[in-house]
Structure 1
């Protein structure tokens, strides 16, 4: 007996706060990475292309967001806010490895990008500028 083959379609989209779709990309297999960008960064840049250099704000979850991506988008006049995964390569270890007690907060500035770690029941890492 063989396993069921899973089929599906991935949609990546940029939406307004009231769920109005602004840009959509359908996953169509492997794509080439732009120079100096990871696959996720290439995806975010292609989705945000019409809005770059406009001063807009973008909110991302920890799958897409990184300190490196936030810095690159800031250079294109795009402001970011979002949660951050603890194991991203270019995270400042002073923030991500800190052992915080409940209610403690720690933040650091890396150029013009701010990284914050706050603990309530769980630790919450965030990136913003």
Structure 2
């Protein structure tokens, strides 16, 4: 785990994501991810602010999380490890669909931290009536749990599923943006 937080303190919003550092030579933990621009390299998990400043990062060596039984637990553990110094302050963690899950949302809510992220529709603990509903363009459907976790689906050109512990289901028109 590398800390880069000596120069700055993050604001209310922080993001967790992964990145590849291009590297083609021999290395035990070199990754191959065909969907990335640089397919071979070193995979990093990063905690950043909206401006792109990195506060913490972790190099994925495959041995970091030996006692993790599946990918969903790995994703939750990565977010909690990276954000551990910034929990309990009312911040909002933004994640993509690799990390976002209901158990992660519950863990972060217990630490007084919000979660906002896109969802994969095959995740466990998601309401079936929301995930299986067919929507027309511009429609939204959602469901809120008793602890304040909202799972929703919105239709534009395709379905977008998301989870939020900070927002409600009301849509406000803001006009067209370029």
TM-score (norm 1): 0.87
Q: Does 1:27 align with 2:60?
A: yes
Gaps of 5+ in 2: 1-25, 27-31, 33-39, 166-178
Q: Does 1:104 align with 2:112?
A: no
Query: How big is each residue's C-alpha offset from its partner over 1:80-101, in whole Å with a ceiling of 9 and x where there is no partner?
Result: 1111111111211111111112
Query: Alpha-carbon deviation of 1:22?
Result: 0.8
Corresponding residue SS for 2:82: helix
Give the whole-Å Cα distance in 2 for the aligned partners of 1:8 and 1:120: 35
Match of 2:116 in 1: 81
The structure with the largest helix share of the pair is 1
**TM superposition outliers: structure 1 runs of 4+ over 6 Å:** none
Corresponding residue SS for 1:70: helix
Gaps of 5+ in 1: none
C-alpha RMSD of the superposition: 1.8
TM-score (norm 2): 0.64
Give the whole-Å Cα distance in 1 for the aligned partners of 2:62 and 2:96: 23
Match of 2:4 in 1: none
Q: Does 1:90 align with 2:113?
A: no
Query: How big is each residue's C-alpha offset from its partner over 1:91-126, in whole Å with a ceiling of 9 and x where there is no partner?
Result: 111111111122211010012101111111101111
Give the whole-Å Cα distance in 1 for the aligned partners of 2:62 and 2:103: 24
Q: Does 1:127 align with 2:163?
A: yes
Query: Alpha-carbon deviation of 1:65?
Result: 0.7
Corresponding residue SS for 1:99: coil
How many corresponding residue pairs?
Answer: 123
